[in-house]
Structure 1
């Protein structure tokens, strides 16, 4: 008896299995590079699990759809369902959504391109996608602004004629290359002021408060 066949049903189809294994490795490698690139510019570790899980799920789904020849309308319907599902969490920031879209695109390409591209072309496509993402983050140095709300006690520097001294003092105390600042509130009874400083970062805008 053929151990790989029971009652006329094949337990393993080596051609499909080998294709699945190789393309799954391609997809996992590309996803890992994208997640590592994202990890270098963000500390939001909660997205790591989501990116890997969605990548694997989308890849296996589209690979199955491509192999069982499900009609296009039904396949698009499945993806429409995914499109209207929303996580019960805060709104995902634009940069995280962009990385999520790239993860899904890589998974779909690796899962559906069996009849159109060889492994060399597939490798080049994955390198191109990851390379463009790296270029946008590192070479072009796309900057975003972050803000920090601080409690400042040296209120004599708040005089209109001491704007330069105030800016230099803020930069010296925070160690941040401040672009601009805004005095939010002055408390003369406590001799403190609330100042929002704005500076360039390669990440998302957050609102924090600290005391100098």
Structure 2
């Protein structure tokens, strides 16, 4: 009985920290907050019931596997959000089984939350990014493609994967992984709201009209 209450508390506290403290403050998707909490608590409840009944655990886990595949295919999720999805599933499963000794499930839950906190920390590779870029020119050569991307992104290109090369329509679609230069980050951070608005007008090809303020 002690292991059950410890696992229940670990599931509630662990998911609260994982979802509200770690995930939402970094990714800001309110809809997935509900999905992660519901998934973990649902897995916890069903696993708890199956572990105390004659039904096979394989049947229950198989059903949740099918539901997980449907959920992942029904919406566009980033790889980071998929990682949180499976960690939420694992937290509910481990605590639903509530194995002895009583501290084991809380320890596993704390370990999973700590791993996600560190692996998804904003200070880890902050200048490295990935983006799919569509270029209005065909670049069959890798050197030409890299030079064009570095000029466009103002960053160092680490790896490119050409998704489509159309010589008829003069089009290149490429998956690029790049690292921005430190001076670009500093210049963006130093921009005032007025300079950001001016840059947006220049990119749109429109002159910036000063607004008169009435006294």
TM-score normalised to structure 2 length: 0.55
Stretches of structure 1 that go unaligned for 5 or more consecutive residues are 1-14, 150-166, 168-177, 182-197, 202-208
Structure with bigger gyration radius: 1
Alignment partner, residue 101 of structure 1: 86
Alignment partner, residue 30 of structure 1: 14
SS of the residue 1:126 aligns to:
helix
* Structure 2 CA distance for aligned equivalents of residues 133 and 84 of structure 1: 22
SS of the residue 1:119 aligns to:
coil
The change in CA–CA distance for 1:180 and 1:127 in structure 2 (over 3 A counts) is same
* Structure 1 CA distance for aligned equivalents of residues 92 and 31 of structure 2: 20
Q: Does residue 27 of structure 2 align to residue 51 of structure 1?
A: no
The change in CA–CA distance for 1:113 and 1:43 in structure 2 (over 3 A counts) is same
The change in CA–CA distance for 1:76 and 1:89 in structure 2 (over 3 A counts) is closer
Shift of 1:110: 0.5
* Structure 1 CA distance for aligned equivalents of residues 58 and 119 of structure 2: 35
- Preserved CA contact (<8 Å) 1:136 1:142: no
Stretches of structure 2 that go unaligned for 5 or more consecutive residues are 134-150, 158-178, 186-198, 203-215
* Structure 2 CA distance for aligned equivalents of residues 23 and 121 of structure 1: 9
Shift of 1:25: 2.0
- Preserved CA contact (<8 Å) 1:66 1:112: yes
TM-score normalised to structure 1 length: 0.56
Alignment partner, residue 64 of structure 1: 49
Alignment match of 2:118 (pick from 122, 128, 135): 135
* Structure 1 CA distance for aligned equivalents of residues 87 and 156 of structure 2: 34
- Preserved CA contact (<8 Å) 1:179 1:199: yes
The change in CA–CA distance for 1:146 and 1:87 in structure 2 (over 3 A counts) is closer
Alignment partner, residue 179 of structure 1: 155
Q: Does residue 64 of structure 2 align to residue 74 of structure 1?
A: no
- Preserved CA contact (<8 Å) 1:146 1:199: no
CA deviation profile, 1:64-96 (whole Å, cap 9, x unmatched): 111113124422432343234236853211110
The change in CA–CA distance for 1:118 and 1:45 in structure 2 (over 3 A counts) is same
- Preserved CA contact (<8 Å) 2:11 2:92: yes
Q: CA RMSD in A?
A: 3.6
Alignment partner, residue 125 of structure 1: 108
Alignment partner, residue 140 of structure 2: none
